[in-house]
Amino acid sequence: MERRVIFFEDVREGGEVPPFVVERLTRMDLVRYAGASGDFNPIHTDEEFARAAGNPSVFGHGMLTAAFVGKCVTDYVGSENLRRFKVRFATRVWPGDSITCKGKVTKKYEHNGEKRIDGEVLALNQKGEVAVSGTFSAALPTRN
């Protein structure tokens, strides 16, 4: 499947970054991310350890939710065009949660001869609480 290329001219400040939704995160998703990333903090995969540390259950790696936000961004700007991506972790994500990543373009400008856009992105749980908030910068191609 060919990704649709966006051009600098097509983007407007305030324009939407299309959503990416993950339905009902599972414990297996957390195990898979632990293996893929190498983040084996047992608080994300070992139920007994997580409970002993005072949690109702295991919870998601912040960087897994951040990765979903990253996908939302690169699906929009193109992975080779991303220049900066920053996330801040807010509420935690639990097995069974559904996560909606979405964002908007905040600024269009030129930087080092590149046509740049900045944007804000959020990952929200099914209750509308912010799990991750972030910002990004990307350099986009032009039509001419």
Q: How far apart, in whole angstroms, are the C-alpha atoms of residue 121 and residue 74?
A: 12
Q: Tell me the two tokens of residue 142.
A: 């032009």
Q: Which stretch in 71-79, 103-111, 113-121, 123-131 sits in contact with another protein by CB under 8 A?
A: 71-79
Question: Is residue 76 involved in binding another protein (CB under 8 A)?
Answer: no
Calculate the CA 84 to chain-centre distance.
13
Q: How far apart, in whole angstroms, are the C-alpha atoms of residue 131 and residue 67?
A: 12
Question: Is residue 38 involved in binding another protein (CB under 8 A)?
Answer: yes
Q: Which residues pair with 118 in a beta bridge?
A: 107, 137
Q: Which stretch in 11-19, 89-97, 106-114, 118-126 sits in contact with another protein by CB under 8 A?
A: 89-97
Q: Which is nearer to another protein, 8 or 49 (CB)?
A: 49
- Of 117, 118, 111, nearest in space to 134 by CA: 118
Question: Is residue 118 involved in binding another protein (CB under 8 A)?
Answer: no
Q: Are 77 and 6 contacting, i.e. CB atoms less than 8 angstroms apart?
A: yes
Write the interaction track for another protein spanning residues 97-116; mark x where CB under 8 A is met and - where it is not.
--------------------
Q: Tell me the two tokens of residue 68.
A: 């979903």
Q: Which stretch in 9-17, 58-66, 108-116, 122-130 sits in contact with another protein by CB under 8 A?
A: 58-66
Question: Is residue 29 involved in binding another protein (CB under 8 A)?
Answer: yes
